[in-house]
Amino acid sequence: MVVKKKTFNAAQIARVENVGVLLAAGLIAGEALTGLAFAPFKIANINITQNIYSNPSLVIGIAIIVLVAIGMIQIPVKNAGRPDEPAPPTANF
């Protein structure tokens, strides 16, 4: 939707898609590493989140989701490059 409004050429669209996929993959990998970091504490029955999650706020959670969504849109669009740059290699499935 944002890419169509910006009237990017094919090379810029490919760059935006590549950066978006890499950003999403990085967030997924970071979540997995966070799970691995917390696993030893769970196995040892050590509660390290005693006061952090005792009364969570819905507003803070929604704000974080909105910030992540804005970042996942803005970062790839800002890295679209100039229209005269050559297109990166793409994979079409």
Q: What is the pLDDT of residues 69-86, one digit of tens each?
A: 999 999 999 988 888 888
Query: Does residue 85 lie in a domain region?
Result: no
DSSP string, the chain: -HHHHHT--HHHHHHHHHHHHHHHHHHHHHHHHHHHHHHHHHHTT--S-TTTSSS--HHHHHHHHHHHHHHHHHHHHHT---TTSPPPP----
Query: Does residue 68 lie in a domain region?
Result: yes
Query: The pTM is what?
Result: 0.72
**Tens digits of per-residue pLDDT, 9-18?**
888 888 888 8
For the chain, the domain total comes to 1
Query: Does residue 22 lie in a domain region?
Result: yes
Q: Structural domain of residue 67, as residue ranges?
A: 2-78
Identify the pLDDT of residue 40.
92
